[in-house]
Structure 1
């Protein structure tokens, strides 16, 4: 299932309505006053829509999870996860490192999250209104921050506060320990243990795939359009990894030097690098979630591979093909697990 809503166009059209309305006002004081009115109206509508939107998105995420579900609501994976976590009463825990519940639908029922008819239709409709209203609000705010917009248009950088730097070693260790503790107390047959470990690997891989583009977009937005320093320390990557992310965004060869810092904003815009709203606040959170997923993936791989070796040995004697079918991988992957040095 893929989203049929072009949220970029929806936001652009909504912002254009505000631009057209304000551009017709020549008196600067009157324009500022009207922009304030539009901003306040939009904020009131956002406040009235938010609870309904969040409840519907949480219900969809927990009752009807599908690949890239978040795209149907015009938000990122980490944002959808925060909304679902808040609905489950998990608070800040789910914002950074906690995985999805083992049985999302059961967790939703226990949290008494309603599941209305036509859930997806309702959730998408409210999400569209919410995103359009946010775009109108942001367009109005832009008129109230003309100096900031001028800096961006001229190719300069906006000032941001120092970034939060998560303790990634602790994030990774806690996430890995969580998986290991879960399987340490798991009393099931070897075949079921293998199946569950393979599912944990798949879940962590999917989470990484969802979070990586968000992390890199936030990194590039901060690197090219803001005054932020030490971004790699908030992204959980090395200096070299940080440079590689920027090279990919600009379409540069692997060994190319980055352009001089004053030229980067203009070149980034030409390359289509998006300016991510709230990147300074969101990057540490997204990066922590990614590193936690990476650590869960590594720990789950160890558990899965150990289970593979058990079932391939006496007294089970599973064939490579049978193991491959159980973990949904190619036989060559199983062969590498059995013969790590070959």
Structure 2
């Protein structure tokens, strides 16, 4: 990477911001007052995020478009504390296009600087450092917001005296969700015929879908634990798209139990949740089905795109392309031995 960017440990940035929130709230013994203070901290961090995000995104887009050959997507993500899908979302948004629409494409590397200038996304020697500075502020406030929200849930759980009555949970039609997601992927790739382009785009889709799954599963499991411990909700696994065994695994992790340990009885779950620090999540009965639908959609997208990615690998190994296994692995972001297995299949 010929253009250097300040090296930043975003994990440490986020950890310190979250620790600052926890330490401030630990000074407050009354859970009701602690919850009120945490809510104020959450709102302040959220407002800061809204202020920082637009300028951060503009600077990152300008830098990324003006350094298409100097910085790989992986290097850009590391420099600015982004996931792969975050970076793509920022760049597509800067072009005035809608993120998530099938077939949305970025300009070629050759065209990126000119397109950026035409949109007013100019890049100076200070742009990279400025983007990193705002990226740090964004990560600090994002971590503070999430930790404050978590602390609100803990205080609310501490205050709970009985299970909250909630209406029956919605049960999403997961079969239809899977069919629609698969059709979406097939429709996008119907217009991508070149094997190298199919590999690059399918790899992007797999990475983006996995990142969304990693994010959603954390929220999904928090919702499941909150509903199971603190509300009257029944058969939560149906709304979450899980089997009974899958639900048990979630609760084992939430209650910090060994795998296959016996779960507390329903009468004891509330106290067990409080003892394990399970936060109460407001409106979890409404949010869980939405999160479960999104998780299943991205899981199916990843599965369909993986099949497309794997199917094109033997084509690129053979004439006239004759790509090496390492070149394919680098382009797809997968281990080289896995490429060898597919190429020889």
Q: Which residue of 1 aligns with 2:51?
A: 52
Residue correspondences, number? 308
Residue in structure 1 matched with residue 72 of structure 2 by the alignment: none
Name the CA distance, whole Å, in 2 between partners of 1:163 and 1:66: 38
Question: Structure 1 residue aligned with 2:275, among 270, 273, 276?
Answer: 270
Task: Determine whether 1:208 maps to 2:213.
Answer: yes
Partner of 1:26: none
Say if 1:217 and 1:177 are closer, same or farther in 2 by CA, change over 3 A: same
Contact 2:209–2:298, Cα closer than 8 Å, also in 1: yes
Of 154, 157, 161 in structure 1, the residue corresponding to residue 163 of structure 2 is 157
What does residue 338 of structure 2 align with? 333
**Separation (CA, whole Å) in 1 of partners of 2:60 and 2:208:** 14
The 3 A distance-change label for structure 1 pair 60 and 233 is farther
Map of 1:66 onto structure 2: 77
Going from structure 1 to structure 2, the CA distance change for 1:184 and 1:339 (only over 3 Å counts) comes to: same
1:240 maps onto 2:239 in alignment = no
1:167 to 173, 186, 200: 173
Which residue pairs with 1:302 in the alignment?
307
Q: 2:285 aligns with which of 280, 284, 288?
A: 280
- Work out whether residues 46 and 145 of structure 2, in 8 Å CA contact, stay in contact via their aligned partners in 1: no
Unaligned runs of 5+ residues in structure 1 are 24-30, 72-76
SS in 1 for 2:164: coil
Contact 1:166 1:234 in 2 (8 A): yes
What residue number does 2:188 align with? 182
Contact 1:151 1:157 in 2 (8 A): no
Q: 1:179 to 1:43 in 2, by over 3 A?
A: closer
> SS of the counterpart of 2:77?
coil
TM-score by length of 2: 0.64
The 3-state SS of whatever aligns with 1:274 is coil
**Contact 2:178–2:297 under 8 Å retained in 1:** yes
- State how 1:1-342 maps to structure 2 within 5 Å: 1-3=9-11, 4-5=13-14, 6-12=16-22, 52=51, 55=54, 66=77, 69=81, 102-103=105-106, 118=130, 121=133, 152=160, 156-188=162-194, 190-338=195-343
Please say if residues 204 and 293 of structure 1, whose CA atoms lie closer than 8 Å, have aligned partners that are also in contact: yes
Structure 2: state its 5+ residue gaps.
Answer: 1-8, 65-75
- What is the deviation of 1:219? 1.6
